[in-house]
Amino acid sequence: QTIVADLAPLALRQNQDISLSPAEVVLSGDRMLLEVLFRNLVDNAIRYSGAHSKIQVSVQEDRNAIKILISDTGPEIPLETREKIFEQFYRGHSEKGDGAGLGMSICKDITQLYSATIELAPRENGKNTFVVSFPRSGEIV
């Protein structure tokens, strides 16, 4: 909630609609690392989905996992980028001139610390969706 609230002004400046589906989920862990993980994902959605896009953060739960989904209606992420997006120093949007290409690699490293996974799901319903899945078995610390 805090990250969406913090980044909402950036989205509004680009005429983007950003929303958070309410959920009663608690993840235990290092607050700073979890904030870096989700701030990178939401910030990327805002930066790269373009003006007038819709960005949604939602939570899905089942008996095996807690999944946080960050979706946007921006342009489709090219196949070459999809294959390399979690590699260190890969910059899919080098024409923008910002970033060192470490954000998504850092996200992957953080998820691994929690025995979680991160993936870019196949494009569906005109949306790019990153899914972070935390296992329910064992303790998230």
What residues does each domain of the chain span? Answer: 2-135
Tens digits of residue pLDDT in 95-119:
454 654 578 889 999 999 999 999 9
pLDDT, residue 92, reads 62
User: CA-CA distance, 114 to 116, in Å (whole number)?
Assistant: 5
How far is 83 from 39, CA to CA, in rounded Å? 22
Mean per-residue pLDDT, 124-130: 96
pLDDT at 101: 57
Q: Does residue 103 contact residue 123 with C-beta atoms inside 8 Å?
A: no
- pTM score over 0.75: yes
Sequence-separated (6 or more) residues with CB below 8 Å from residue 46: 7, 10, 11, 14, 16, 18, 55
Pick the CATH number of 2-135 from 3.30.70.100, 3.30.565.10, 3.40.50.720, 1.20.1090.10: 3.30.565.10
Please write the tens of the pLDDT for every residue from 25-78.
878 889 999 999 999 999 999 999 999 999 999 999 888 999 999 999 999 988
Tokens of 88: 């260190």
**Element spanning 5, H or E:** helix 2-13
Alpha helices in 14-135 (DSSP H): 31-49, 79-84, 103-113
CA 11, CA 31: separation in Å to the nearest integer? Answer: 23
